[in-house]
Structure 1
Amino acid sequence: MMLPCLLTRVAFRTPPPMIHIRLLLCLVFASASSLAQTPPSAVANSNEGARSLWEEFMTRMQTDYLEPVDEIALTRKAVDILAAENPAFSSLPKPRDYGTTPEACRSAFHQYVVAFAFKAGRRMDATAVVELAIQRLCERHLRFAQYIPASTQAELATLGKANLGMRIEVSENGRFYCQPFAGEAAALAGIEAGDELIALDGVPVEGMNRWKLKVKLYGTDGSKAEVRVRQTTGRIITAELIRRINNGLRVTATSGISGTTIRIPLFDGNTLSDLRAALQTVRPGSPLTLDLRGNGGGEIPPAVDTAALFIDGPRPLLLCKQQRRGQPDVDLSSNEAMMPGFKRLNVLMDGGTASSAELFISILTEAPALRVALSGTRTYGKDIWLEGATLKNGGGELYLPMGNMVTTGGKRWTNGIEPTTFGMKK
């Protein structure tokens, strides 16, 4: 915290040289003491904690990341990221030699981190510098990896439950795209799926961390926020939205002359029971549409169990596999009973449909007795699965892509799933 500095003006008619010297010494001493206000023990603990945090991160990268990692190349990227973070740090000498072993490379990086923290002064300690490096690497270089610092986790834990009637998708280039909930504030204001969020409450979101953005999106019921988006046509919309507590992430069903549409916004612990209840309301023989637009995925087991509701066959029903580098495949099956009467499905999807939602669609299209029409636009293309762990040396949460998902028929969707029509998949 910055403390106010109180200045006392002292007037000297003709100050003698000795007073000038004393004033200079006092100023030098004050500057030095301000840099040394942090106890040496605290600095040492931070430095050691920073070293341990980076080693833990790199160990997890080597053992868990879905692709082999070149530690020296990744460390160089981390140094480049830190150097570019602020112009004030660009002049800080980078390591000349990273060595040929992990130990030498980590030692070189640690020396740079300590120098960076010293230059940052009170703003950052060594552990915070390492957390920044990890966070930026996940955002810019490690595909689908995420890191949530402990400080941000504390903010997320106190979030209000009211939202702006939409979910935000983050693209690989760090841009934010809106996925409005039908009938909620964002959709009613004219915001459409795929519109790019460019400002919130007058503050540009470009370069903002996704978790910091989430903190700003949520709030108390009835609070307001000004949202500015760029539509695919290039048109800019600015709208004042009211936060409401809603069922945006629960399964909902609407029926009409053209049949029943069931919207599945996410796969979580509620999805299976919600969908089963919704299917019980569908009239026999009525056309059924499953709306997965904007469904960014969620948990894998609920997606597998939910798909099993539409597929006949002996239980347990083997539907897909999880693959991981250097390890045998893990079979994923379901014991959920099929709900009869649904032989033809129409699935709505778009660029916000991703991950376990794509797995769900792929499983359905492989079922021999189902005829599935895929309507809309190509899906996102995320056929990997992530796993999270708390880094014990830093307290932050690290999510890494561990491997690929594949259906029992060998189907993957690295480049997304294309729309089809009835009969075209067989």
Structure 2
Amino acid sequence: MRQLFRNIVLISIGLIAGIAATIQFSATAQQGTSTLPLDELRTLSNVFGQIKREYVEPIDDKQLLTDAVKGMVSSLDPHSAYLDKKDFAEMQEQTAGKFAGLGIEITSEDGLVKVLNPIEGSPAAKAGLQAGDLITRLDDKPVRGMSLDKAVRTMRGTPGTKITLTIFRKSEERTFPVTITRAEIKVQSIRAKVVDNNIAWIRITSFQERTIPDLAKKLAELAAKDPNLKGLVLDLRNNGGGLLQGAVGVAAAFLPPGAVIVSTKGQAPDSRQVFNAVPAMY
């Protein structure tokens, strides 16, 4: 693929950075490494006990502790999250390019849910949602104070069922309701065509399991359609991220051999990695 497009001019016209990172924690105390903060854990235990005794409604122990862990992890940075078994299955479903819901990529902003990108052809896109829209209510539930995970679970559901989103569109300074019918979303992360003057256009909406082979297929199709291609526009606008390997593979297809694409680091030795542009990546 690199040989085929050796002389193509690559123009990148925007990328929302942020390859989603999932962090799994195992709290253990080991001699010679670190000790557990006993005073802080005692505070956690006291708060837990007070909630159990005095909160207005009974609280499930497991859910309360799970929410505490989620809050601890999400406070680290915008891209860290604790995933239980169900959440992890949902994430795998989405990165595989197939799930049931509205078809929007979202993030959190100022306590609300912000639309990053309505997936092309999805119920959300057909309903007119736009990148930058803020969701303030899901049916009768206010979004402010709701975790992003809960918002995602609320919007997903059985195909054919409906949900009403209350939208604030800053560009128009108005708030309005939108009722959307859930459907099975099959995400095509890559769209491509030849535009004017022998220029190819490829749009990548997210980085999924099949992004790299799909990119290779699209490039081959474009070359067969127009053997005189002079350049290529790689459109990454409103790309919400996805799998790190997918993003690395796309970059490796166009960068000089051996170029450093990205490096990762952390406290654990195996978290320190450098990804280079090598054929194995694509």
Question: Of the candidates 133, 153, 158, which is equivalent to residue 220 of structure 1?
Answer: 158
**Residues 302, 236 of structure 1: CA spacing in aligned structure 2 closer, same or farther, 3 A cutoff?**
same
**Residues 307, 122 of structure 1: CA spacing in aligned structure 2 closer, same or farther, 3 A cutoff?**
same
Q: Which has the larger radius of gyration?
A: 1
**Residues 319, 137 of structure 1: CA spacing in aligned structure 2 closer, same or farther, 3 A cutoff?**
closer
Q: Quick one: which amino acid aligns to residue 133 of structure 1?
A: A
Question: Of the candidates 77, 90, 99, which is equivalent to residue 143 of structure 1?
Answer: 77
SS of residue matched to 2:135: strand
SS of residue matched to 1:309: helix
Match of 1:245 in 2: 184
**TM-score for both structures, normalised by structure 2:** 0.69
Q: Quick one: which amino acid aligns to residue 124 of structure 1?
A: I
Q: Quick one: which amino acid aligns to residue 58 of structure 2?
A: R
Q: Quick one: which amino acid aligns to residue 175 of structure 1?
A: L
C-alpha contact 1:230 1:237 (8 A) present in aligned 2:
yes
Question: Of the candidates 11, 23, 37, which is equivalent to residue 102 of structure 1?
Answer: 37
Q: Quick one: which amino acid aligns to residue 114 of structure 2?
A: Y
Q: Quick one: which amino acid aligns to residue 205 of structure 2?
A: P
Match of 1:305 in 2: 249
1:281 partnered with 2:221: yes
Match of 1:115 in 2: 50
Q: Deviations over 1:135-185 (max 9, x none)?
A: 33444x3323323456766898999933323222223x4321112123433
**Residues 223, 260 of structure 1: CA spacing in aligned structure 2 closer, same or farther, 3 A cutoff?**
farther
Question: Greater strand percent: which structure?
Answer: 2
C-alpha contact 1:224 1:243 (8 A) present in aligned 2:
yes
1:161 partnered with 2:99: yes
Q: Quick one: which amino acid aligns to residue 261 of structure 2?
A: L
Match of 1:16 in 2: none
Question: Of the candidates 248, 270, 274, which is equivalent to residue 331 of structure 1?
Answer: 274
Question: Of the candidates 84, 94, 112, which is equivalent to residue 175 of structure 1?
Answer: 112
Question: Of the candidates 258, 261, 277, which is equivalent to residue 201 of structure 2?
Answer: 261
Match of 2:261 in 1: 319
Q: Aligned-pair distance for 1:231? A: 1.2
SS of residue matched to 1:278: helix
Q: Aligned-pair distance for 1:189? A: 2.8
**Residues 128, 217 of structure 1: CA spacing in aligned structure 2 closer, same or farther, 3 A cutoff?**
closer
**Residues 193, 110 of structure 1: CA spacing in aligned structure 2 closer, same or farther, 3 A cutoff?**
same
Q: Aligned-pair distance for 1:120? A: 4.2
**Residues 156, 204 of structure 1: CA spacing in aligned structure 2 closer, same or farther, 3 A cutoff?**
farther
Match of 1:343 in 2: none
Q: Aligned-pair distance for 1:323? A: 2.1
SS of residue matched to 1:245: strand
SS of residue matched to 1:194: coil
Q: Quick one: which amino acid aligns to residue 275 of structure 2?
A: L
> What are the within-5 Å matches in structure 2 for residues 35-46 of structure 1?
none
> What are the within-5 Å matches in structure 2 for residues 337-376 of structure 1?
none
**Residues 261, 121 of structure 1: CA spacing in aligned structure 2 closer, same or farther, 3 A cutoff?**
same
C-alpha contact 1:252 1:264 (8 A) present in aligned 2:
yes
Match of 1:407 in 2: none
Match of 1:208 in 2: 146
SS of residue matched to 1:268: coil
| Stretches of structure 2 lacking an aligned partner (at least 5 in a row) | 1-24
C-alpha contact 1:114 1:126 (8 A) present in aligned 2:
no
C-alpha contact 1:116 1:129 (8 A) present in aligned 2:
no
Structure 1 stretches of at least 4 aligned residues deviating more than 6 Å after TM superposition: 151-160
SS of residue matched to 2:218: helix
Match of 1:34 in 2: none
Number of matched pairs: 244
C-alpha contact 1:176 1:196 (8 A) present in aligned 2:
yes
Q: Aligned-pair distance for 1:58? A: 8.4
C-alpha contact 1:310 1:338 (8 A) present in aligned 2:
no
1:232 partnered with 2:170: yes
Question: Of the candidates 69, 74, 81, which is equivalent to residue 134 of structure 1?
Answer: 69
Match of 2:129 in 1: 191
C-alpha contact 2:102 2:182 (8 A) present in aligned 1:
yes
- The CA distance in 2 between the partners of 1:132 and 1:337, in whole Å, is 40
**RMSD (Å), alpha carbons:** 3.8
**Residues 228, 256 of structure 1: CA spacing in aligned structure 2 closer, same or farther, 3 A cutoff?**
farther
**Residues 304, 131 of structure 1: CA spacing in aligned structure 2 closer, same or farther, 3 A cutoff?**
same
C-alpha contact 2:209 2:246 (8 A) present in aligned 1:
yes
Q: Quick one: which amino acid aligns to residue 203 of structure 2?
A: R
197-206 or 255-264: bigger deviation: 255-264
Query: Matched residues, percent identical?
Result: 25
C-alpha contact 2:248 2:281 (8 A) present in aligned 1:
no
Q: Aligned-pair distance for 1:317? A: 5.0
Q: Aligned-pair distance for 1:126? A: 4.6
